[in-house]
Chains A and B, each alone.
Chain A
Amino acid sequence: MSSRAAILGRVSAALAGADRVPPPRQEYGAPAAVPDVVGLFVERVEDYRAVVEQVAPQELAAAVARALGGTDRVVVPPGLEGAWLSALDGAEVLVDDGDLSPDDLDRCGAVVTAAAVGIATTGTIVLDHRPDQGRRALSLVPDLHVCVVRESQLVGDVPESVTLLRAAVDAGRPSTWISGPSATSDIELERVEGVHGPRTLHVLLVRDGDGLQSPA
């Protein structure tokens, strides 16, 4: 007998005569009552010792350039809004064509991506790796991650965010949930920022609703 059949057989035998518990009645994706989603998001991202800046759409390119500071080589996903990089001065920009090796990425000091969702309560950014966010390795190997999030992408809490994830999963895309820079608590359960992922997370939160064109 195959192990598959054996395991499934043992499961069925174990459950013979068991009370089958129905799924709980659960309202999925219920919006959280967060009065100030933007304010809370900023506060909670800062809690992780990430950098958060609120910028107007027309200030975004300059803010990206500032955030990248003295980085020589920047990698960006193929679908990134070109205007966001228009104020860069001197840095070499590699647009990922899918062929950059891990070593190539390791030679990039920074990455700029968009995001899919921002979660206020937990201060989390969710990437669903659409073309403006790129494949997973891009936002992982470089040491600085500049991430552009629009206010309209913010939700109150985790449930709304999980609901939004389904479209990405159905499209076969992975997702990465990022809450601050990489960190560890493995030494005496004391939090230290900066292990294998980007050691600096710089979030640019783009205002909307001020009558100006959103960059996307």
Chain B
Amino acid sequence: MDHAVIDGEWHSAESGADIREYISDDEMRENEKAGYLAGPDEWGPIQWDGWDRSAGGRTEINIHSPDITDAEDVDPVREQLGIDTVVFSPGQFRMTTIPAQDKQVMYMRAFNDLTVDRFARGDGTYYAKLYIFGDHPEESAEEIERHGDKDGVVGAMITDVGPTFPMGHKSYEPIYEAAEKHDLPIILHSTTGIVPGFPIAGMQPKNFAEFHTLGHTIPKMWHANSLILRGVVEKYDVDFGFWEGGLSWIPALGERLDREYLERSSEFADLSQLPSEYLSEFYYGTQPLPEEATKMVDVVDLIERADLEDQVLYCSDRPHQDFDAPAAVDNIEGLTDTQKSKIFEENARELFGI
């Protein structure tokens, strides 16, 4: 099959200490270096979430692989996996756990400076997304203004777990205005960090499995519902990408949305089509692909029925423990060669403009 493989998500793996080096104010940087006497130096104010992702060491993928500090550090594994081009996602997105609210913006800026310096090459092989904070919309918009036109910056990633409001809320408008202006897609991504907001605070999971089953999907539904119902999808020409929640939640939400719309459309913003049709205009990362063992989900059928052929992109999610090799897409029986080349290459080119 003649197509390149573009990976819509490989996480960088910087530590809090790496990010700290990019704090622009000298005195603040020195204070931050000196200030965290009790915690591990490399984490600084960013909290480790305490989850064992390896089922007691039975898997070996270290999600903060310490050897990924520059884009080219992933060359060997990228080549082994047969991936040609990588669009990095921020690795240390657990920044929402920084407890001092007055330091979150400083770290967001430092983090984006690091990303632009080390990962957003724009060289045909390596590109990157900025990191933005839902609870700091004005400052997030400034980040898009500051870096949005740099070579190799092709999107902005927002942590979808933990913000106070769902993404249809008016507080996000500065972010959407900036994203529209710079033609950058907004990619929603979950976190396992201990954050006070929805849905983690109420989930009370017994272990990682109970958390991780829903931790990605539930916030996707919360935000997609809100973006459509409150009309952000009509008001702004911005592409939204939903990463790491898989695909099977899409029809579940579409069905509920359309039902509500038909019964009480006056409670929706002015929409020009059925709510579920906007779901067919969002973009989706493939990872994690439903296993065929789960007989309830037929990916090929879902792509056809939900009209997602031009919206689904291969994402590896390296170096996270639930990553998908390109084999995960190759293994799906019944995808046509055209669909595969869209998933592996063309849809990513369209979304990220690469």
- Do A and B truly interact? no
Binding site for A on B (CB under 8 A): none
Binding site for B on A (CB under 8 A): none
